[in-house]
Amino acid sequence: MILSDYDIRTYQERGALEISPYSRNQINPASYDVRLGETIRTFPPSNEPLDLRDLTPHTKVSVIPDEGWVLEPGDFLLGTTEERVYIPEDMVCMVNGKSSLGRLGILVHVTAGYVDPGFEGEITLEISNLLPRPVILYKGMRIAQLVFAKMASAPGGGYHIKGRYQGQEGPTESRYTLDER
């Protein structure tokens, strides 16, 4: 069951779902808008292959200046939500791009559009520009929307037990090497 605007408000007011900072103005009929945080991670140009077995830090952290960050055509960066969320154990969350930005060629998640039950932290966004021209991103702009769905039952082990991104702050690099082989 997808939560409606009424459900999102009710869960937030009861403290079962936590979004911080929270604003009723960011609630849509069946989603909640989140804003782009101030820090991003970019991938410095390199011709060296990225070895997925050894993911030593490979990104550069930057702060989006007041005049915005120019995202060139084909560029990719990691952003973060300004909001910190706590997803209850019996709920999941999907991160969707804003259709207004999608119609301009801006993607906000490449494959990681799913937030597990029990997750707590800021959400890392995978942002890319498909336009043939640069786009300026601003901190605080509405960048994505969260859709919450109630599960039939809570899982046997929530994200707080197995999740490698639990409690993340800011755009977080891949932790792929922690996957079981």
d(CA 163, CA 178): 10
List C-alpha distances in Å: 165 to 28, 50, 116, 169, 173.
27, 21, 10, 9, 9
Question: CA 8, 14, 17: angle at the middle one, nearest 5?
Answer: 50
Whether 65 is in a domain gets the answer yes
**Any domain includes 175:** no
- Total structural domains in the chain? 1
Q: Looking at residue 166, what DSSP letter applies?
A: T
Tell me whether residue 48 is in a domain.
no
pLDDT score of 59: 76
Taking CA atoms, 75 is separated from 8, 127, 150, 158, in Å, by 34, 8, 35, 34
Per-residue model confidence (pLDDT) at position 17: 96
Say what the pLDDT of residue 165 is.
62
pLDDT of residue 167: 59
Q: Which element (helix H / strand E) includes 93? A: strand 91-97
pLDDT on residue 110: 79
Predicted confidence at residue 106, as pLDDT, reads 94
Residue 170 lies in a domain: no
pLDDT by residue for the chain (181 residues), tens digit each?
999 999 999 999 999 999 999 999 999 999 999 999 999 988 877 788 877 777 666 778 889 999 999 999 999 999 999 999 999 999 999 999 999 999 999 999 877 788 889 999 999 999 999 999 999 999 999 999 999 999 998 787 765 656 666 657 767 666 566 665 5
Distance (Å, rounded) from C-alpha 58 to C-alpha 127? 17
pTM: 0.88
In a domain, 153, yes or no: yes
CATH of the domain at 28: 2.70.40.10
Of 13, 126, 169, 180, which residue is the catalytic one? 126
Q: Is residue 49 part of a domain?
A: no
Residue 173 in any domain: the answer is no
| 180 carries an active-site annotation | no
- Domain range spanning residue 27? 5-43+58-165
Residue 177 lies inside a defined structural domain of this protein? no
